[in-house]
Structure 1
Amino acid sequence: MYSGLYSKNYLDPPKYEKALGSKMDSFRENFADRLRSENTILREFCAELLGTFFLLLIGTAANIQNTVAAGGNATSAHLAWGFGFAFAVYIAANVSGAHLNPAISFTQYILGNIPFPKVIIFSFAQLIGAFLGTAVTFVGHLDDINNHDGGVRSVIGENATAGWFATYPAAHMTGVGSFFDQVIGTAILSGCVVLITDKRHRIPQGVVPFLAGAIMTMIAMTYGANGGFAINPARDLGPRVFTLVVGYGWETFSAYNYYFWIPLVAPFIGAILGAWIYKILVGMHGLNEDLDITGGKPYPREDRGYKGSSVSSIRPMA
């Protein structure tokens, strides 16, 4: 006669479950020990990679749905980019400062907050993350892409889909206009992030990433139509390289009179301008005031320039 699993010939339920739980705990501990790293550079590299990956995963998917999905519209895409940026900052803020943008990393070097080697490391991580985020979006929306272009990957034309990933200018835009579009958009991003990380505003740390997302949405709604608001060299170059790899051809770089260099270069200028405009007109003044910051030392601290802070971080920066 069948006696069931919990007969006297088997372990009783409490002992069996306890033994299984102990083995699972041991497996998890061993697995975690093998993966865990205390190497600061590696941790920051991974945080920048994952944060930028998530930003592009959400943003490029929003671009596609804005174009091909029922109910998609520009406003929903703008909001998705903002939400994506907010959660991307949450991902990386406590590890690397969540730069997620080579122009922001370079600006932090100019301000003296990080050493130059970190600019290279962060930028490489951001570029890889942008490439991979775009790749996942491409696979996840492959049917939408094929339905729109019939499998013919093109950069220019009625059925072009390259602009869902990398950025390209509107038909009426000149090279000069496109350049200033990127400079101004990135200056707004950089300056506003310096603002929200200024300790004198007493903004709770957990709110800063949400405000960063609001900044991204604001830029998308005001400087998004003319050139796709790249405002980030990695956000544009990563997807541009990916579209080249998957069959869009060298036109990804040569289209619109080699437009690609503008979102690659102009954001560096804009990020530096935005940060310094805030610092010169607001951030550097009143540093001798003693303002009590809840949970910390009296303001200002000895560094007076907030060394060690990061633009997209929850740490002070002004």
Structure 2
Amino acid sequence: MNSNLTMQLMGEFFGTIILVLLGDGVCAGVNLKKSKAEGSGWVAISFGWGFAVTFGVFCVSWLCPGHFNPAVSLGMAIANKLPWSSVLPYIVAQIAGGFIGGILVWLTYYPHWAKTTDKGGILGSFATEPAIRSYGWNFFTEMIATFVLVYGLLGLTNIKLAPGLNPLLAGFLITAICLSLGGPTGIAINPARDLGPRLAHQFMPIANKGDSDWSYSWVPVFGPFLGGTLAALLFNLLS
């Protein structure tokens, strides 16, 4: 592995940790009992995730492109903006970062899990769950939302922006997607953001947790991959 790729993978790993720590951190703050943010609602979560993306990218911008998302990395490769040889290593680094980020959320809110009896709220502090379980429609929601994400990010690559503006706009895009499209599924739009913390939920001794809902876990993985692929194909067609 060349040193340049090694640095990129370190950036994707650490950036995804920051993304999940801040993003799932706001979910935990809203969901868990005795938290000062308890009950703040979906608007707080949406802005929390947007800020998490922005500052995650700023934290590692000199190391890597700041994807933190396997669906984005796949889309960038299809659009010839990332070497195909980097895709699988990026995905592994991102999922590993999501796992560590999930563990850090658990430790940050450690006393609050024992005070919380809502197993769904506990799982929702790590991974996504649908508001109405309908696998086909949940899959469609994740697909279309990730399509918007990846196409929007690809669009930003075609615009000459002032230095440092791209991460801010990416955060705005995430917030817009959460606010507009997040209601049905809690919106993953990122396999690493869902799978990594879901694994942390599975393996960590979290007080009062229920099961990790693996029957749903394929939706926030394959829906985003398909949405990102379609976005990149359309981008190529129109470019």
Q: Does the TM-score normalized on the shorter chain lie above 0.5?
A: yes
Amino acid at match of 2:96: I
Deviation at 1:109, TM superposition (A): 2.1
Deviation string, structure 1 residues 11-49 (Cα, Å, up to 9, x no partner): xxxxxxxxxxxxxxxxxxxxxxxxxxx911211111001
Alignment of structure 1 residues 93-104 onto 2, 5 Å: 93-104=61-72
Residue number in structure 2 paired with 1:306? none
Moved over 4 A (4+): 247-250
Residue number in structure 2 paired with 1:138? 106
- Whether the 8 Å CA contact 2:79–2:236 is kept in 1: the answer is no
Q: Is 1:169 the counterpart of 2:130 in the alignment? A: yes
Secondary structure at 1:252 match in 2:
coil
Instruction: Output the TM-score relative to the length of structure 1.
Output: 0.68
The 2-side partners of 1:223 and 1:177 are apart by: 12
The 2-side partners of 1:107 and 1:192 are apart by: 11
Q: Equivalent of 1:49, from 2, 13, 22?
A: 13
Deviation string, structure 1 residues 67-122 (Cα, Å, up to 9, x no partner): 23345232122111101101112223332211111111112222233333311111
Q: Equivalent of 1:179, from 126, 130, 139?
A: 139
Q: Is 1:73 the counterpart of 2:37 in the alignment? A: no
Secondary structure at 2:171 match in 1:
helix
Residues 232, 83 of structure 1: alpha-carbon distance in 2 compared, 3 angstrom cutoff: same
The 2-side partners of 1:47 and 1:266 are apart by: 25
The 2-side partners of 1:44 and 1:210 are apart by: 20
- Whether the 8 Å CA contact 1:55–1:85 is kept in 2: the answer is yes
Secondary structure at 2:179 match in 1:
helix
Alignment of structure 1 residues 196-275 onto 2, 5 Å: 196-199=156-159, 202-247=160-205, 251-254=211-214, 258-275=215-232
Instruction: Output the TM-score relative to the length of structure 2.
Output: 0.90
Secondary structure at 1:117 match in 2:
helix
Deviation at 1:195, TM superposition (A): 1.4
Of 110-119 and 127-136, more deviation after overlay is shown by 110-119
- Whether the 8 Å CA contact 2:143–2:223 is kept in 1: the answer is yes
The 1-side partners of 2:82 and 2:23 are apart by: 28
- Whether the 8 Å CA contact 1:127–1:238 is kept in 2: the answer is yes
- Gap runs ≥5 in structure 1: 1-37, 285-318
Secondary structure at 1:96 match in 2:
coil
The 2-side partners of 1:184 and 1:114 are apart by: 22
- Whether the 8 Å CA contact 1:191–1:276 is kept in 2: the answer is no
Secondary structure at 1:189 match in 2:
helix
Deviation string, structure 1 residues 249-295 (Cα, Å, up to 9, x no partner): 893144xxx111111111111012223334434xx2xxxxxxxxxxx
The 2-side partners of 1:120 and 1:275 are apart by: 17
- Whether the 8 Å CA contact 1:244–1:250 is kept in 2: the answer is no
Deviation string, structure 1 residues 166-225 (Cα, Å, up to 9, x no partner): 11111x2311110000001101110111112213xx321310100000001001101112
Kindly indicate whether structure 1 or structure 2 has the higher relative contact order, using CA contacts under 8 Å at least 6 residues apart: 2
Alignment of structure 1 residues 151-166 onto 2, 5 Å: 155-156=119-120, 160-166=121-127
Residue number in structure 1 paired with 2:23? 59
Q: Is 1:89 the counterpart of 2:47 in the alignment? A: no
- Whether the 8 Å CA contact 1:134–1:165 is kept in 2: the answer is yes
Amino acid at match of 1:275: A
Q: Percent identity?
A: 28
Amino acid at match of 1:42: T
- Whether the 8 Å CA contact 2:130–2:184 is kept in 1: the answer is yes
Alignment of structure 1 residues 292-307 onto 2, 5 Å: none
Amino acid at match of 1:276: L
The 2-side partners of 1:74 and 1:89 are apart by: 23
Two-structure CA RMSD over aligned residues (Å): 2.0
The 2-side partners of 1:54 and 1:118 are apart by: 21
Deviation at 1:247, TM superposition (A): 4.3
Q: Is 1:192 the counterpart of 2:144 in the alignment? A: no
Deviation at 1:126, TM superposition (A): 0.5
The 2-side partners of 1:39 and 1:91 are apart by: 19
The 2-side partners of 1:116 and 1:280 are apart by: 19
**Structure number with bigger Rg:** 1
Q: Equivalent of 2:88, from 102, 120, 129?
A: 120
